[in-house]
Chain A
Amino acid sequence: MRVLLVEDSRRLRTTLTTALRRSGYAVDDAGDGQAGLELATANDYDAIVLDIMLPGLSGLELLKHLRERGSSTHILLLTAKDTVDDRVRGLQAGADDYLVKPFALEELLARVEALCRRAYGSKQTRLVIADLEIDTVSKQVLRAGQPMVLKPREYLLLLYLARRSGQVVTRREIEDHLYNGEIALMSNAVESAISSLRKKLSRANPAPLIHTRHGLGYVLKTETE
């Protein structure tokens, strides 16, 4: 999942970026509105965490620009203002959610996750594909009823593929949403992660779930689909 964080407070930006990355998100960050707008227009994000009071272009202006350009990326507004008017103005401008500073880190992560779920049209916290079950709240994965032990990145890769089950997901999309440009162009990190995931999935049930579409990417589905 790829997230953009636009926050002018350097300290908060650094902390939230770390927390989001640790939670498995690929995170881009910007310290002002203009840079945020450029990133948001150039990339496809699952969610944007946007501070309202930004130098240069304000968060609300950025939001308006994005909506005018037809972007439907889910946006969580962050602000130190907590009056009803402020909230209404933010939501009317096209925000999907609103969080007032100071906030609990867990709450921010939960809201970002909810927005990412909505990005894939799902409000469910439990994804079931054949005998694969993913609980996005407890972050538990079961295959044929057997619990699977996954690394955070593997979990996110599986979740990303599961949310787009039946669709071909390109290597580039996986890199963008999971690795945040941290891997070199010729790296085989995606392939390694897919391979590791396949091994772990086959332990409980050898029937393959992740299929390779050569030259295109990967798709998660049952054989019968």
Chain B
Amino acid sequence: MRSIREQLTRRLLLTFSALLAVGGLILYISIHAALVKEYDAGLLARALAITTLTEQNDRGVKVEFSDHFMYEFRDRVATAFFQMWLPDGREVKRSESLHGSELPRRFGALAQPQFYDLRLPDGRQGRAVGVQFTPKMDRDARGRIPPQQVVLVVAAERRHLDHALAVLGLMLCGNGVLLLAAMMLVLPWVLRRALTPLHELAMQAAEIDAHKLDARFPSETLPTELAPIGKRLNDLLARLEQSFERERQFSANVAHELRTPIAELRALAELGLKWPDTRSTATDQETLAIALQMEAMVTTLFALLRSEDVQFAPQAQAFDLAPLLDSILSACRARTANKDITVAIHVPAAMRLHSDPQVLRSILTNLLDNAIEYSPVRARIEISAAPRESRFELRICNPAQGLTAADLPRLFDRFWRKDEARSGSDHMGLGLPLARAFAASLGLDLRAELEDEARVAFVLSGSLGKAAAVRNLAPAG
């Protein structure tokens, strides 16, 4: 498993090592250049000292050199060497330390002397500077003879320089290794401390299961980087808890709603088995009615699930509203006649909608069904619809004795019924939730309002601007 701490440790160590190496190298090169420059300056100073001792006269070029002042050129000491030539290659002077050996004759102008490494006559590593210069003219010979240029090469051993550079290199490498080791020891501890909030967050998350969805992360006390994660996780947990609670309630409701018809079915079957003579057409019809009731419940539940499916795509088309309402009312005629209920429709004949007629039929059927079920005998149900500016509104209004404002938000809850006993009626409390879910799938809004004289109005409304919303077109025909 990939660990952030291990990855960070590895990457930080690699980065630190690289930076350390580059930094050390730059430092070494800088100090190396400075030391060599200083060494070269020393060499040049010796060469310049010799040039000041060089003079031209009638007899040629001579060097007023004294070993007393420059003892390193002596044969016994032999830490420095010089050799001077005329332009034709004839030697003018050489140091005692050279004996019979030759220095390489490489040089530059006095203003731009040439420095180079070389192997000294005694085999040691050395460094040399070569310059070409014009010696000062003897006073007597001045103006009488042409000035002559000479070449001077001064060399010296570089043991001390190389030693200093080696020590410098070793110190840099040693420090680098020590720093790296210290980093390897300290970094994991620092990272562990720094990542503690992340670890705690992970531990808290690990403790959350389906039974602890009420747990929340302390997003206020989390570090800035983790606070948005904590907040988002809290939001997700809240939604998950809500969803679990809804599903739990839904499952409990389904189980509860199914228990009574199953009990009825089982009791009927067992009664028939125990006392076969009790079985009759009437009991068979009851069995069928129970089966149909359960089928209706399952069908409605599936319809609810389908309406919540994101892939549910209504098929919108233009159609007249009035004939649709007439057709729905015809299907309910027997039930309205049973209760002597009057249904008054106030819908402009020319009103056309652009929506899915089948889904809208389901919505309106459920609303009318609900109105008939809960209206008293000889009640009047009003259905009205009209376009209003950029919106439309369709109202189904029926008497609702005993319904209070507190009941309104619960009307669209699954399995909710005003009477908790839920007895006698075939209504399962799924019609209104289904109607609202279908309305949402069409981009419409369905709400309930209490009116005067203990009446409730179910209002279906939508914006003409919505893609799947109702669109009032030109009058039909």
**Interface residues, chain A, with chain B CB atoms under 8 Å away:** 8-12, 14-16, 18-19, 22, 31-32, 53-56, 58, 80-81, 100-106
Stretch of B40-48, B330-338, B419-427, B461-469 on the interface side: B419-427
Which of these, A15, A55, A102, contacts B262 with CB under 8 Å?
Answer: A102
Q: Name the prevailing secondary structure of the B interface residues.
A: helix
Q: Inside 8 A of A19's CB, which chain B residues have their CB?
A: 267, 270-271, 274-275
Task: Check if A54 sits within 8 Å of B421, measured CB to CB.
Answer: yes
Check if B266 is an interface residue, CB within 8 A of chain A: yes
- Nearest-neighbor residue (CB-CB) of B272 within chain A: A15
Q: Which 3 A-B pairs have the closest CB atoms?
A: A8-B423, A80-B259, A105-B270
Task: Check if B256 sits within 8 Å of A80, measured CB to CB.
Answer: yes
Which of these, A53, A101, A105, contacts B421 with CB under 8 Å?
Answer: A53
A-facing residues in B260-296 (Cβ within 8 Å): 260, 262-268, 270-271, 274-275, 278, 283, 286, 289-290
Instruction: Give 25 pairs: A residue, B residue, CB < 8 Å, sorted on A.
Output: A9-B423, A9-B424, A11-B264, A11-B290, A12-B264, A15-B283, A18-B271, A18-B275, A18-B278, A19-B270, A19-B271, A22-B275, A22-B278, A32-B421, A32-B423, A53-B420, A53-B422, A55-B421, A58-B421, A80-B257, A80-B260, A101-B259, A101-B262, A102-B265, A102-B267
Give, as a whole number of angstroms, the nearest-CB distance from A4 to chain B: 17
Give, as a whole number of angstroms, the nearest-CB distance from B188 to chain A: 51
- Whole-angstrom CA separation of A18 from B256 in the bound complex: 25
Q: Inside 8 A of B290's CB, which chain A residues have their CB?
A: 11
Task: Check if A55 sits within 8 Å of B271, measured CB to CB.
Answer: no
Q: Inside 8 A of B262's CB, which chain A residues have their CB?
A: 101-102
Q: Inside 8 A of A32's CB, which chain B residues have their CB?
A: 421, 423
Task: Check if A55 sits within 8 Å of B419, measured CB to CB.
Answer: yes
Task: Check if A105 sits within 8 Å of B274, measured CB to CB.
Answer: yes
Q: Inside 8 A of B268's CB, which chain A residues have their CB?
A: 11, 15
- Whole-angstrom CA separation of A130 from B223 in the bound complex: 88
Q: Inside 8 A of B420's CB, which chain A residues have their CB?
A: 53, 58
Give, as a whole number of angstroms, the nearest-CB distance from B259 to chain A: 4
Which of these, A55, A81, A101, contacts B424 with CB under 8 Å?
Answer: A55
Which of these, A54, A103, A105, contacts B271 with CB under 8 Å?
Answer: A105
Which of these, A9, A55, A104, A105, contacts B260 with CB under 8 Å?
Answer: A9
Q: Inside 8 A of A102's CB, which chain B residues have their CB?
A: 259, 262-263, 265-267
- Nearest-neighbor residue (CB-CB) of B270 within chain A: A105
- Whole-angstrom CA separation of A80 from B283 in the bound complex: 22
Task: Check if B263 sits within 8 Å of A103, measured CB to CB.
Answer: yes
Q: Inside 8 A of A100's CB, which chain B residues have their CB?
A: 259
Task: Check if B271 sits within 8 Å of A104, measured CB to CB.
Answer: no
Q: Inside 8 A of B286's CB, which chain A residues have their CB?
A: 11, 14
- Whole-angstrom CA separation of A208 from B352 in the bound complex: 89
- Whole-angstrom CA separation of A102 from B269 in the bound complex: 12
Which of these, B256, B265, B266, B423, contacts A81 with CB under 8 Å?
Answer: B256
Which of these, B257, B278, B423, contacts A31 with CB under 8 Å?
Answer: B423
Q: Counting chain B CB atoms within 10 Å of each CB, which of A12, A54, A104 scores highest?
A: A12
Q: Inside 8 A of B274's CB, which chain A residues have their CB?
A: 19, 22, 105-106
Q: Inside 8 A of B283's CB, which chain A residues have their CB?
A: 15
- Whole-angstrom CA separation of A56 from B418 in the bound complex: 11
Q: Inside 8 A of A54's CB, which chain B residues have their CB?
A: 421, 423
Give, as a whole number of angstroms, the nearest-CB distance from B36 to chain A: 92
- Nearest-neighbor residue (CB-CB) of A108 within chain B: B267
Give, as a whole number of angstroms, the nearest-CB distance from A9 to chain B: 5
Task: Check if B259 sits within 8 Å of A8, measured CB to CB.
Answer: no
- Whole-angstrom CA separation of A103 from B259 in the bound complex: 9
Task: Check if A105 sits within 8 Å of B266, measured CB to CB.
Answer: yes
- Nearest-neighbor residue (CB-CB) of B419 within chain A: A55
Task: Check if B424 sits within 8 Å of A15, measured CB to CB.
Answer: no
- Whole-angstrom CA separation of A105 from B260 in the bound complex: 14
Given A103-B266, A104-B266, 19 other A-B residues pairs in contact with their CB atoms under 8 A? A8-B421, A8-B423, A11-B264, A11-B286, A12-B264, A12-B267, A15-B264, A15-B271, A15-B283, A19-B271, A53-B422, A53-B423, A58-B421, A81-B256, A101-B262, A101-B263, A102-B262, A102-B265, A105-B271
- Whole-angstrom CA separation of A105 from B267 in the bound complex: 6
- Whole-angstrom CA separation of A53 from B260 in the bound complex: 11
Q: Inside 8 A of A31's CB, which chain B residues have their CB?
A: 423-424
Q: Inside 8 A of B419's CB, which chain A residues have their CB?
A: 55
Q: Inside 8 A of A58's CB, which chain B residues have their CB?
A: 420-421
- Whole-angstrom CA separation of A53 from B270 in the bound complex: 23
- Nearest-neighbor residue (CB-CB) of B257 within chain A: A80
Task: Check if B278 sits within 8 Å of A16, measured CB to CB.
Answer: no
A-facing residues in B418-438 (Cβ within 8 Å): 419-424
Q: Inside 8 A of B275's CB, which chain A residues have their CB?
A: 18-19, 22
- Whole-angstrom CA separation of A56 from B420 in the bound complex: 9
Q: Inside 8 A of A104's CB, which chain B residues have their CB?
A: 266, 270
Q: Inside 8 A of B266's CB, which chain A residues have their CB?
A: 102-105
Known: A9-B260, A22-B274, A80-B256. A15 touches B267 (CB 8 A): yes
Give, as a whole number of angstroms, the nearest-CB distance from A101 to chain B: 4
Q: Inside 8 A of B267's CB, which chain A residues have their CB?
A: 12, 15-16, 19, 102, 105
Give, as a whole number of angstroms, the nearest-CB distance from B253 to chain A: 10
- Whole-angstrom CA separation of A8 from B265 in the bound complex: 15
Q: Counting chain B CB atoms within 10 Å of each CB, which of A10, A15, A31 scores highest?
A: A15
- Whole-angstrom CA separation of A11 from B271 in the bound complex: 12
- Whole-angstrom CA separation of A190 from B275 in the bound complex: 25
Give, as a whole number of angstroms, the nearest-CB distance from B13 to chain A: 59
Task: Check if B270 sits within 8 Å of A106, measured CB to CB.
Answer: yes
Give, as a whole number of angstroms, the nearest-CB distance from B458 to chain A: 24
Q: Inside 8 A of A101's CB, which chain B residues have their CB?
A: 259-260, 262-263
- Whole-angstrom CA separation of A11 from B420 in the bound complex: 19
- Nearest-neighbor residue (CB-CB) of A7 within chain B: B423
Task: Check if A55 sits within 8 Å of B423, measured CB to CB.
Answer: yes
- Whole-angstrom CA separation of A104 from B265 in the bound complex: 11
A-facing residues in B400-425 (Cβ within 8 Å): 419-424
- Nearest-neighbor residue (CB-CB) of A10 within chain B: B424
